[in-house]
Amino acid sequence: MSDIHPPLVDDFFNHLKFEKRYSQHTLRAYLDDLTVFFQFLKSQFDTAEPKAVTSAMVRSWLASLSVQKIQPRSINRKISSLKSFYRFCMLKGHVSASPLAAIKVLKTRKRLPSYIEESQMQQLLEQVEFSDDYSGRLQYLVVAVLYHTGMRVSELVGLKAMHVDTTRMQIKVLGKGNKERIIPVHRDLVGELEAYRAVRIDLEHAADRVEFFLTEKGKPLAARYLYSVVKRSLSLVTTADKKSPHVLRHSFATHLTGNGAELNAVKELLGHSSLAATQVYTHNSIDRLRDIHRKSHPKG
């Protein structure tokens, strides 16, 4: 057994990585949560054996997290990680029951997704001037694709050139759990994609790369590059606190629902596994309607 966590955690990690094909960010979160949990067990109960864990031990751990002022949302994520681990242990026959069976998640305030106003995105994509060289074209396209498709960072970084079909005006995306989905592309964006493809072909090593988006040196993009480009670009049109690629995904979904798109259609475009994850965007639409009503209606 490892000094940090039992071998079963490594088995679980490999299951998530190779079978579930979770992103590196998600894998790291699971591993961190489980490592902290088993370190706590070792220090408080002198055991790190999954079969020895009881509900009382789990509750003791959760109580210690609360004492450390860990937010309920973060604690719930750790509970979810532990539940997933024990589902895996039960599936493999390592334990007969989960000590998490009676553990309930904590109540949290519903946090609405941050998004950028449509007018601000229009200003960014239609009025802000990006440089006319390869770097500028790439930066513009990264922002435009994230906003027009609602892709996740990992999906854009891993987007294959063969999956960008400008003839059919669509992009095939490989999402969480290795699930594929098709996202339609507006004709204006199609033109930008074709123009980029024409200059991409001249990059060094471009012919050897399957990724659609490449740096000037012909290498795949890094996630940190996307965060840097999006933050710098959004700073030109908004003073919003959050300026990340995921905010563009939220903006994509919020603007769709605000303009009357069916929730099931938005769910499919985002690659959500359940409608519950998509329904949060209707709250933004309702809040916006309330604000319009308050400002515009004589009895508002």
Which residues are the active-site residues? 152, 176, 246, 249, 272, 281
Where is 267: in which H helix or E strand? helix 263-270
Q: Which residues pair with 235 in a beta bridge?
A: none
Q: Which of 208, 207, 215 is nearest to 134 (CA)?
A: 215
What is the Cα–Cα distance from 222 to 158, expressed in whole angstroms? 10
End-to-end CA distance of the chain: 65
What is the Cα–Cα distance from 55 to 190, expressed in whole angstroms? 55
Residue 81, C-beta contacts closer than 8 angstroms, at least 6 positions apart: 29, 30, 33, 34
Which burial class, exposed, middle or buried, applies to 72 when counting CB atoms under 10 A from its CB (0-12, 13-18, 19+)?
Answer: middle
Question: Using an 8 Å Cβ cutoff, are 251 and 147 in contact?
Answer: yes
